[in-house]
A and B are shown apart, each in its own frame.
Chain A
Amino acid sequence: MRKKKKHFPNQPIGILETKAADLLAKGRHKEAIEIYKQLLKKQPRSSWQAALAKAYLLRAIALANKGMYKEAVVLWENRANLCTDKACFDQYIHWLIKAGHHINATHLLMESAESLPDDVTWPLWAHIGALLLVKSQNLLDILPADAALLKHYTLIKAALDAYYREEDTTTLEFLKQIPFRSPYRDLRTILNALLIIHSDPNGANVLLKKVHKDSPYAYFAQLIQLAGESEEILLEGLSKLEHHEVSFIAHLKGWDKERMKVISMLQIAAKRDSHKALMEVVIANRLIFGEDYSRQFCMALLPSYPAGIKFYERIFGTLSAYEKNRIIALNYEQKGQSYTAERYWRSCAENLKTRIESDTAQKIAFILRHIVEMIEKRGDTDDDDVPAVLTESLALEPDDKPSYLKLIQWYQHQNDKKNYQKWIDAAIKQFPLDSEVLFLAMEAATSKKAFKKAASLAKKLLKVDPINVKARQMAKFSHLSHARKLIQFGKYINARKELEQATQFERSNQRSGVVQINQGLLELQASGFIKPKKRQAKKRIQPGLLEAQCQNGSNPKSVVPNPKSLELLQEGVQLAGGGIIGQFRVIVESKSQALETTEILPLLFPQNKRTPLPTRHEVLELVNSINTYTKEGITFLKEAVEQVKEPLLRAMKLKFSQEEILSLCQSLKNVAHQPLLKQCADRALKRWPGHPSFFYYQVYGKANANIYQVSMQDIERLKNAAEKAEANGDKRTSTMIIGFLNQFEQSLPPFLNPFDGDDFDDDANELNAIEAILDKNRLSPNELRKFMERLEEMGLDLPDFDVPLPRSSKLDKERKKR
């Protein structure tokens, strides 16, 4: 529907003039033209005429940019009637060419050739030259016989003819005669590219890229480039091309009619974007794609499109039950339906069991492991099937380390020591030189306190992996532990050997002194100076005592410490760092051998003097040492710490950072030294008042780690501290406090739990629940009384119990009041 022209008959000239100028400025040329035309009808003003000419030109350019060349030509000619200048004359000629007025354009170009610059006329001549080749032979008649274009036209035509005849040398000879300034310069480049497009596609591409984007041959060059693009780009490009262009590409690629049909089918299938369409195209054109390729392609498609199994079987033959199950299993896996996929994989394994191929066992093993992987992905780590499936897989194919590791981990997690060890042994048998397996075996031996075995495994591991620090530490620890065991049984000769071996695993610059302390302690016992507390070793200790007696010729009790043992002990203390750490190590190592420290410490540390104030570094080293012993599972660390308590408390006045004090408190909590923990926390709170962690440690220490000893006020304050820590982003502290508080909350039966809103009426159940708590926590009568009082304070109505509970006067008074 055509738009109605706007008329402004009654409007004053001034308003119309302003409006026209405004429309012209806004690019609304068509409306501006209308108003200026009306204005000129009223008055022939030169300014309006110039404005109308400008509007015509701008509108012509806008239309030409939209490809409306005929309209652009008309408008340019309208403008020419209004003024004498020939603005955008070259563009006008170009529009004439594009509008099909070739003869007119050629005439104008010849006439104005001298007035227009060469760089403007060259693309126009190039276009006329191209037209001469493709359709406008009549132009030949209007060109003068001596025109350069005609000469070059003859050369390019000869080159093209030679190209069609596949006479490449002749083609090249003609092309060489075409000069750089020729309008056929770009076609020359394109022909050169076509000559090498199959032998040197990259070289052809380089040539094609030389064609300037403003050249009339630019689009043709791009078309040829498309032939060398990837499949996706090519197919997409083909869909946008005209028939002749597709045909041109088809020739360059060597596609015959059959293949063109396949390509058009692929184009349609691409639009449908379905597996079914894809399978249909492949099967319909399997002769072109090749039988094997088509079969493989469809087979690969089936897990995504299992509905196509029947279609596939009709064409390529029946699939085995195993294959069908495998396809369906993969399909369910793809859809994320792990349980169903697992069922089909199990069917696959069953199907395979009936086969007698060489790789059947391996295939079943792989499928079983795949099932375990799916179980793991689901997060069903406690699935009881896991060990059975893995065991079956290893029976079929034993060479799979991850399966052994999974089994070991599984049994470790289940705390099934027997099976854990069984699979450690099996893994070691299968992979005797694997560092990961050796390390696991070493850990297992250590946890079983089979130190001799652990040390031997550590040696093997260090042969495989000489820089394994953990193995080195473990080897040293194993030898040390084994030596302690031997010392306890009085086997001093063997113990010396073990300690000697332990020294080999210490780096000279990282000696902790532990080995030397143990050597010193050994010598003290061997010389009979000191005996272990445990007398059960008395019988076995005979060889050692004999050794001492032989050396000294006297009763062991009267033996004085020999200089060698003292030297070793002093060396150990020095290596440990002296002072408080040395003392602590001697205490722990002595206790490890069941020796009385009161008999040993005076030999090394003067008892009449006060232990010097430890340095900050020494305290931190002590914390490290406590942590290491905790990890080793030493159980008497509380007593050992008690013996260094005094200098440790004095050292609290040193300038420790908050982190350092926190680490000390945590270590004290780990060794369950609650009084010292409280004292440390008290002092830390003076420095950092209200700090949630220190407050927690203070309460924890004060209550002796027993939540029932914590007052209700402190419980409330702990809750606040947890909230404060949470707000400060200190997740660790908040979790720690909540964990402690939960011990209280979780141990309450629901009707006593202030955090649980459920009501219970059954008194028998309530009583059973209370009794269960009392049994579980073994509260003393006083603790029980306090517990009851606290519950009353919390506002809980306690049921009447028949059990005789100790009552406080306060509780009785409260009850009477009620």
Chain B
Amino acid sequence: MKTPFDILDINEDASDKAIKKAYLQKVRQYPPERAPEQFQRIRAAFEAIMNRQQRLKYQLFHHEVPSFSTLLGRGLQIGKPQRPPKEVLIQALNQSLNNG
């Protein structure tokens, strides 16, 4: 469930100015000519919360069924990456030699 606030990387109590700043920053990161899809998402997120009125409307009427994948994203993202220990790597390599 990525809200417009998540997409723009801002807090829900961010001011109009902060939202615009975050939006411009994101657009610089994903310009429309290089990343059209991301840009569309960023633009839609900005338009949904760009001012107080829009934020209130979003709060009242926006309804997007939270997808399984967003939850999954959250579930799979948490955790600190590690280096696999010897046995794990060797077993995985062995398994992959058999499967390959």
Contact of B66 with A366 in the complex, beta carbons under 8 Å: no
Tell me which residues from 37 to 88 in chain B have a Cβ below 8 Å from any Cβ of chain A.
52-53, 56-57, 60-61, 63-66, 68-69, 71-86, 88
The answer to whether residues A297 and B92 also contact, given A164-B86, A263-B75, A363-B56 and a CB cut-off of 8 A, is no
The answer to whether B63 and A300 have CB atoms under 8 Å apart is yes
CB-contact partner of A359 in B1, B56, B64, under 8 A: B56
Interface string of A48-81 (1 = CB under 8 A from B): 0000000000000000000000000000000000
B1 touches A130 (CB 8 A): no
Q: Are A133 and B74 in contact (CB under 8 A)?
A: no
Which of A242, A278, A293 lies in contact with B74, CB distance below 8 A? A293
B63 touches A330 (CB 8 A): yes
Asked if B68 and A278 sit within 8 Å, CB to CB, the answer is yes
- Residue count of chain A within 8 Å CB distance of chain B: 67
Shortest distance between the CB of B76 and any CB in chain A (Å) = 5
Do B84 and A252 touch across chains, with their CB atoms under 8 A apart? yes
Secondary structure call for the A interface: helix
What are the residues of chain B within 8 A of A266 when measuring CB–CB?
A: 68, 71-72, 75
Residue pair A223, B96 in contact (C-beta under 8 Å)? yes
User: Bound complex: CA of A130 vs CA of B96, how far in Å?
Assistant: 11
Cα–Cα, bound, A275→B63 (Å) = 14
- Stretch from A281-289, A649-657, A786-794 contacting the other chain: A281-289
- List which A178-201 residues lie within 8 A (CB) of chain B: 194, 197-198
A247 to B91, CA, bound (A): 9
Report the bound CA distance from A161 to B78 in whole Å: 28
Query: Is A164 a contact partner of B85 (Cβ separation < 8 A)?
Result: yes
Q: Does A251 contact B85, Cβ atoms closer than 8 Å?
A: yes
User: A252 touching B73 by the CB < 8 A rule?
Assistant: no
Rounded to whole angstroms, the CA-CA distance of A217 and B63 in the bound complex is 46
Bound-state CA distance A223–B76 (Å) is: 16
- A134 with B97: in contact, given A259-B79, A303-B63, A363-B56 (CB under 8 Å)? yes
Q: How many residues does chain B have at the interface if contact means C-beta atoms less than 8 Å apart?
A: 42
Question: B73 and A297: CB pair below 8 A?
Answer: no
A671, B68: Cα distance in complex, Å: 66
Judge whether B81 and A254 touch: CB under 8 Å: yes
Binds B, one of A18-26, A229-237, A730-738, A802-810: A229-237
A-B interface contact total, Cβ < 8 Å: 148
B91 touches A244 (CB 8 A): yes
Specify the chain B residue showing the minimal Cβ separation from A214. Answer: B100
Contact, CB under 8 Å: A220 / B96: yes
Q: How far is the CA of A711 from the CA of B74 in the complex (A)?
A: 80
Partner of A254, one of B65, B73, B79, B91: B79
Any chain B CB within 8 A of the CB of A528?
Answer: no
Check B100 against A363 for contact (C-beta < 8 Å). no
Interface centre among B80, B83, B88, B92 (most CB of A within 10 A): B92
Alpha-carbon distance between A131 and B90 when the two chains are bound, in angstroms: 10
Contact of A259 among B61, B75, B99 (CB under 8 A): B75
Within 8 A of B (CB), among A215-240: 216-220, 223, 230-232, 234-235
* A275-B1 Cα distance, complex, nearest whole Å: 14
Tell me if A463 counts as interface (CB < 8 A to partner B): no
Within 8 A of B (CB), among A765-799: none
Contact partner, A263, options B76, B89, B92, B96, Cβ 8 Å: B76
Residues of chain B within 8 A of A170, CB atoms compared = none
For residue B57, which residues in chain A have a CB less than 8 angstroms away from its CB?
366
Q: How many whole Å from A248's CB to the nearest CB in chain B?
A: 4
Are the CB atoms of A301 and B66 closer together than 8 Å? yes
Q: Which of B69, B73, B90, B100 contacts A218 (CB 8 A)?
A: B100
Smallest CB–CB gap between B75 and chain A, Å?
5
A300 to B66: give the CA distance in the assembly, Å.
6
Judge whether B71 and A253 touch: CB under 8 Å.
no
Bound-complex Cα distance A218 to B99 (A): 10
Does A232 contact B79, Cβ atoms closer than 8 Å? no
Contact of B72 among A127, A166, A231, A248 (CB under 8 A): A231
Q: Given known contacts A220-B93, A230-B73, A235-B76, what 11 new A-B pairs fall within 8 Å (CB)? A: A218-B100, A231-B76, A234-B76, A242-B95, A242-B99, A244-B91, A251-B88, A285-B75, A289-B71, A300-B66, A303-B65
Name 9 interchain pairs, CB-CB below 8 A, sorted by A.
A134-B94, A197-B81, A220-B93, A223-B92, A231-B77, A251-B84, A266-B72, A266-B75, A363-B60
8 tightest CB-CB pairs across the interface, nearest first? A219-B100, A248-B92, A254-B79, A244-B91, A251-B84, A134-B94, A220-B96, A254-B80
